[in-house]
Amino acid sequence: MSDLTSQELRKVLATAVGQDPNAPEVDQLMHALDRTKLFRYHNDEDVQLLSTVGKVLAAIVEDPTLTQRAMSVYLGCSEQLVDKKVKLLVDSGLITKTKVNRRNVYEVNRKSVLKHSDIQHLRQVMQILADMEKVSIKGKTYSPKDLEVADPPKVVKREAF
């Protein structure tokens, strides 16, 4: 299933439920598949901003009980690649892997992750992006939502006498 794009899956689901591909019911199904890690809802981007190891770490943060097979389906890559990246994360001290019964359970080393230079840089970038959303007028900062007018005044055109 990971070979399908989001748009292709959306069309298949729409046909199955007899709805338009943009219908809310289809969107709910797409989100349900994403939550259960059966299909990555947002994987159609032309440019990938995270490395595979970053994506594996994000998947583990989202659900530490994921199997490597589930991660590979969710991320759209091979189990071997996920295994290599998990080992890299364990070796670097960013996560720990514990066997519970016959399953691996991962624990994120929060302090190490937050101190990592990439995460610190990402925080700075996110703050810059957030600041770009704000507008300053006479020393007071507003978000674009603060500046929206609920009922904009109607312009009445008057004719000259």
Range of the domain at 124: 116-142
Residue 140 has pLDDT above 90, yes or no: no
Q: Rounded to an integer, what distance in angstroms lies between the CA atom of residue 84 and that of residue 61?
A: 17
Percent of the chain beyond pLDDT 90?
34
> Within a domain: residue 147?
no
Sign of the Cα torsion 39, 40, 45, 49 reads negative
- Do 129 and 73 belong together in one domain? no
| Distance between CA atoms of residues 101 and 126, nearest Å | 40
Q: How confident is the model at residue 92 (pLDDT cuts 50, 70, 90)?
A: very high
Query: Phi first, then psi: what are they for 147, rounded to 5°?
Result: -90, -5
Mean residue pLDDT of the chain comes to: 81
- Shared domain check, 92 and 15: yes
**CATH number assigned to the domain comprising residue 66:** 1.10.10.10
Which 8-state DSSP code applies to residue 105?
E
Whether residue 76 is found in the same domain as residue 131: no
pLDDT at 77: 87
20 and 67 assigned to the same domain: yes
Nearest CA to 30 out of 14, 46, 15 is that of 14
Let me know how long the chain is: 161
This model's pTM is above 0.85: no
Does one domain contain both 83 and 33?
A: yes
Does any domain span residue 155?
Answer: no
Taking only the tens place, the pLDDT of each residue in 32-78 is: 777 665 555 455 667 778 889 999 999 999 999 999 998 988 888 89
- Whether 29 and 71 map to the same domain: the answer is yes
Same domain, 64 and 130: no
Point out which residues pair with 140 in neighbouring strands: 137
Q: How confident is the model at residue 10 (pLDDT cuts 50, 70, 90)?
A: confident
Q: Does residue 133 fall inside a structural domain?
A: yes
Number of domains in the chain: 2
43 & 60 share domain: yes
Q: Which residue has the higher pLDDT, 99 or 48?
A: 99
Which whole number is the average pLDDT over 18-41? 76
